[in-house]
Amino acid sequence: MNQNRSWFRVLALVLGFAFLYVPIVSLVVFSFNESRLVTVWGGFSTKWYGALLNNQQIIGAALLSLKIAAIAASIAVVLGTLTGMALARFGPFRGRTLLSGLATAPLVMPEVITGLSLLLLFVTLEQLIGWPEGRGMATIIIAHVTFAMAFVTVVVQSRLAQFDESLEEAAQDLGARPAKVFFLVTLPIIFPALLSGWLLAFTLSLDDLVIASFVAGPGSSTLPMVVFSKVRLGVSPDINALATILITIVAIGVAIAGVVMSRQQKIRDRDAQMALAANQQMIESLKKG
C-alpha cells in the first residue's frame, strides 16, 4: 500500500481516538486531585471518594437507578427478543410494517418527545383508571423498557439474520415443536446477543436523564437527575470520583463479557470441528464398507 495513505489512516485514528478519550481520561485524573478547582492540580488525594460515599443523596439515587436499570433491562430483553424473533423469523404477517416501525422509532426519537408523551399517558391513565397512582419507580421502569427494547430488538434481529435458519429447520424436521426449537437451538445461539442487549439496556437506563425527569415523581430522583442538578451549578470533584467508579465498573463488565463471548465462540468452533471430523469419518467408513 501507498506510504502516504497509511500515514493518513494512522493520523485519522490517533486524532479521532484522542478526541474520544481525552475527556474521559481527564475525568479520571482529576478525581484524584487534592484541589477543589477540578482542573488545577493540587496533589494526589482520594478524599473526593470519601466525600462521595458519605453523600447520602447520591448513594440513595445510585441504588434506585441500579434497581430500575436491572429490572428495566430484564423486561426489555424479553420483549426485545420477542420482537426480534417476530421480525426476523415470522416472514411477512399482517401489521409487520407497523411493528417494525414502532420497534425502531425509539432509537432516534428525541428524548424530550418520548418523555413528555409518556408522562401525559401516565397522567391520563391515572385519571381514567386510577393507575399509576402518582409517579415513581414503576413509571420510570416502563419508560426505560419502552426505549431500551428497541436497542435489544436491533441487536437480536441482526444476530438472527446472521445465523443459518437451517439449524432451526433441522430441529423441526427431527420433530421438535417451535417453542422447543427456540429454547434448545435458537436461544443458546443468540445468547451472546441477549447478553450484550441486556448490558446495553442496563447502561441506557442507568444513563437516562431526560425521560426519567419527565416520568419521575417527587422523591424518586435517579442518579442522572441528582448529578445533573449538581453539575448545572459547575464542576465538582466528587462527580469526577463518581465518573471514575462508573468507568471502572464498565471496563470490568466489558472485559468479563468479552471473555465469556470468546470462550463461547471457542466452544462453538470446537463443536463445529468435531461435527465436521465425525462427518468425515462416517464418509470414510461408508467408502470402505
Partner 1 sequence: MSGPGMVPLGQRINFWIEDALGAVVHSPVGSRLRRWGVTGKALVTSVPYLWLLLFFLVPFAIVLKISFSDAQIAMPPYQPLISWVSEQVLEIKLNFGNFAFLVEDNLYWKAYLNSILVAGVSTLLCLLIGYPMAYAMARSSASVRNMLLLLVILPFWTSFLLRVYAWIGILKNNGLINNALLALGVIDQPIQMLQTDFAVYVGIVYSYLPFMILPLYANLEKMDLTLLEAAADLGCRPWEAFVKVTLPLSIPGIIAGCLLVFIPAVGEFVIPALLGDPGMLMIGKVLWTEFFNNRDWPVASAVAIALLLFLVIPIMFFQRAQDVESGAVHR
Is the sign of the CA dihedral 228, 233, 235, 240 positive or negative? negative
**Residues shown for the chain:** 289
183 binding partner 1? (CB under 8 A)? yes
227 binding partner 1? (CB under 8 A)? yes
Q: CB under 8 Å to 199, separation ≥6 — which residues?
A: 73, 253, 257
- What is the H or E stretch that residue 80 is in? helix 56-89
Q: With contact defined as beta carbons under 8 Å apart, do 84 and 217 qualify?
A: no
Identity of the amino acid at 156: V
CB nearer partner 1, residue 60 or residue 178: 178
42 binding partner 1? (CB under 8 A)? no
Tell how far CA 205 is from the center of its chain: 8
CB nearer partner 1, residue 16 or residue 60: 16
**Which of 109, 137, 189, 261: binder of partner 1 (CB under 8 A)?**
109
283 binding partner 1? (CB under 8 A)? no
Identity of the amino acid at 285: S
- What is the nearest approach in angstroms of partner 1 to the Cβ of residue 13? 5
- What is the H or E stretch that residue 14 is in? helix 3-31
Using the structure block, give the residue that is written with the C-alpha cell 500515514. Answer: 7
**Which of 3, 56, 92, 130: binder of partner 1 (CB under 8 A)?**
92
CB nearer partner 1, residue 1 or residue 286: 1
Tell me how many degrees the CA angle 21-23-29 measures, rounded to the nearest 5: 100
Question: Residues 193 to 222: which contact partner 1 by CB under 8 A?
Answer: 199-200, 203, 206-207, 209-210, 213-214
256 binding partner 1? (CB under 8 A)? no
Q: How many CB atoms lie within 10 A of CB 247?
A: 15
- What is the nearest approach in angstroms of partner 1 to the Cβ of residue 161? 6
61 binding partner 1? (CB under 8 A)? no
95 binding partner 1? (CB under 8 A)? yes
- What is the nearest approach in angstroms of partner 1 to the Cβ of residue 190? 14
46 binding partner 1? (CB under 8 A)? no
- What is the nearest approach in angstroms of partner 1 to the Cβ of residue 195? 13
Using the structure block, give the residue that is written with the C-alpha cell 437506563. Answer: 205
Q: With contact defined as beta carbons under 8 Å apart, do 152 and 229 qualify?
A: no
Q: With contact defined as beta carbons under 8 Å apart, do 69 and 202 qualify?
A: yes
Closest to 64 (Cα-Cα) out of 223, 199, 204, 249:
223
Residues touching partner 1, count (CB under 8 A)? 100
**Which of 101, 130, 218, 219: binder of partner 1 (CB under 8 A)?**
101
124 binding partner 1? (CB under 8 A)? yes
**Which of 70, 102, 137, 261: binder of partner 1 (CB under 8 A)?**
102
- What is the nearest approach in angstroms of partner 1 to the Cβ of residue 192? 14
